[in-house]
Amino acid sequence: AQSVTQLGSHVSVSEGALVLLRCNYSSSVPPYLFWYVQYPNQGLQLLLKYTSAATLVKGINGFEAEFKKSETSFHLTKPSAHMSDAAEYFCAVSDPNFGNEKLTFGTGTRLTIIP
Amino acid sequence: EAGVVQSPRYKIIEKKQPVAFWCNPISGHNTLYWYLQNLGQGPELLIRYENEEAVDDSQLPKDRFSAERLKGVDSTLKIQPAELGDSAVYLCASSPRGETQYFGPGTRLLVL
């Protein structure tokens, strides 16, 4: 079985500050890992995904995440927060045997940007 | 290109009443997913279709939930009868087989 744990259900950062959203995974096989963003009253949008290639993955809107096997982590970062980054962020894991088809999501982290 | 379309966007019903949600996936996407998202939680898969075949419905509560995808395009998810605990957001997603999932805006259900 696979699972992800997102540390911190709410994170607040000042505009222009570093964004760091934490995700740790549990998987019996080398996983695929994803970050999705959900704006209010909208569906989820893929930010980035790790599929066993480069461990540092760059996504849309200036976000990136680094796969660290030794720490079983896949934390999401952005060097400088923008007001438009305020949203809910979900980390997800899948078994590579199922590709993108069987995603297990974390409980989400709500990001608030302080002007 | 149009995204995944869901309707209605909001639905309020009395408990024990039936309710149905509709999803129109992105054109050409063979795979269609229905997810349940409870407040403060991540989405949980209810059912996955490959064309018109339900290939994973292990998490669908079959006593009250049903789904269909006629002709392998649009899909309908039904609850009958609805219970208070069914209040949640129902998300539809689609993808080319094995590729990235694209999500619709969801239907927010409130059961009174």
B54 class by beta-carbon count within 10 Å (0-12 exposed, 13-18 middle, 19+ buried): middle
Kindly state whether B41 is in contact with chain A, defined as any CB-CB distance less than 8 angstroms.
yes
Q: What percent of chain B clears pLDDT 90, i.e. is strictly above it?
A: 88
Kindly state whether B100 is in contact with chain A, defined as any CB-CB distance less than 8 angstroms.
yes
Residue A5 has a CB neighbour count (10 Å cut-off) of 14
Whether residue B49 is predicted with pLDDT greater than 70 in this model: the reply is yes
Tell me, what's the pLDDT at A2?
A: 85
Pairing mode, if any, of strands B107-111 and B10-13?
Answer: parallel
State mean pLDDT over B80-99: 94
Pairing mode, if any, of strands B31-37 and B10-13?
Answer: unpaired
Tell me, what's the pLDDT at A54?
A: 86
- Give residue-wise pLDDT tens across range A16-49: 999 999 999 998 888 899 999 999 888 899 999 9
- How many angstroms away from the CA of B17 is the closest CA of chain A? 25
Kindly state whether B24 is in contact with chain A, defined as any CB-CB distance less than 8 angstroms.
no
- Tokens for B94? 């689609």
Single-letter residue type at B20: A
Tell me, what's the pLDDT at A99?
A: 72
Q: Do A102 and B103 touch (CB under 8 A)?
A: no
- How many angstroms away from the CA of A106 is the closest CA of chain B? 6
Q: What are the chain B neighbours of A105 within 8 Å (beta carbons)?
A: 42-44
Tell me, what's the pLDDT at B1?
A: 65
- Give residue-wise pLDDT tens across range A42-97: 889 999 999 877 899 999 999 999 999 999 999 999 999 999 999 999 999 988 77
Kindly state whether B56 is in contact with chain A, defined as any CB-CB distance less than 8 angstroms.
yes
- Give residue-wise pLDDT tens across range B51-86: 999 999 999 999 999 999 988 899 999 999 999 999
Whether residue B11 is predicted with pLDDT greater than 90 in this model: the reply is yes
- H-assigned helices in chain B: none
Q: CA–CA separation, B87 vs B84, rounded Å? A: 6
What is the separation, in whole angstroms, between the first and last Cα of chain B?
37
Q: What are the chain B neighbours of A45 within 8 Å (beta carbons)?
A: 103
Kindly state whether B85 is in contact with chain A, defined as any CB-CB distance less than 8 angstroms.
no
